[in-house]
């Protein structure tokens, strides 16, 4: 029960942080792609870490850092054309945090054509 409370608190905090970063200049169409790809990477690396040691703070931190690498690589590559975008990195971090948190708790997020859902052990 405590894990559920902590997980839902983290998810809610990530949601509030995402809302607080929504500004007119920051809401370009690619932000949701950064969030979704990083969430998938976070869930994958978090699941691997959870299978190894139950996803401790140390392995969860490593999973989070590894989940950020694709987004960081893209932003480094973008320096030459559009420039490094810290708003994209915020969405990468939010997605990675959500993915690792969901991996820890065993929840699964699914995306439908007109909906987003969450399933798992409630």
What ranges do the domains of the chain cover?
Answer: 2-119
Per-residue confidence (pLDDT) for residue 76, from 0 to 100 = 92
Cβ neighbours of residue 72 closer than 8 Å, sequence gap 6 or more: 89, 92
Lookup: tokens for 88: 């994209």
Lowest-pLDDT choice from 23-27, 51-55, 107-111: 23-27
Looking at per-residue confidence, does 20 or 67 come out higher?
A: 67
Concatenated DSSP letters for 81-98? TT---HHHHHHHHHHHHH
Lookup: tokens for 9: 């608190």
Between CA 8 and CA 10 the distance in angstroms is: 5
For the chain, percent of residues with pLDDT exceeding 70: 64
Tokens 């608190």 found at: 9
Contact 22, 31 (CB under 8 A): no
Residue 27, phi-psi category: left (phi > 0), alpha (psi -120 to 50), beta (remainder): beta
> Considering only CA atoms, which of 63, 58, 51 is closest in space to residue 101?
63
How many Cα neighbours within 13 Å face the side chain of 91?
A: 21
Judged against a pLDDT cut of 70, whether residue 22 lies above it is answered with no
How does pLDDT run across 76-121, given as a tens digit for each residue? 998 888 889 888 888 899 889 888 888 877 766 555 666 555 565 5
């Amino acid at each position: 029960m405590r894990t559920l409370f902590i997980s839902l608190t983290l998810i809610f905090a990530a949601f509030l942080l995402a809302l607080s970063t929504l500004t007119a200049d920051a809401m370009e169409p690619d932000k949701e792609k950064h969030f979704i790809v990083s969430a998938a990477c976070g869930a994958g690396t978090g699941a691997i870490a959870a299978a190894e040691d139950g996803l401790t703070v140390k392995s969860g931190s490593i999973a989070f850092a590894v989940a950020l690498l694709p987004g960081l690589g893209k932003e480094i590559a973008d320096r030459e054309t559009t420039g490094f975008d810290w708003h994209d990195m915020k969405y990468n971090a939010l997605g990675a945090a959500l993915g690792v948190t969901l991996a820890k708790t065993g929840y699964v997020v699914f995306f439908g054509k007109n909906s987003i859902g969450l399933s798992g052990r409630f």
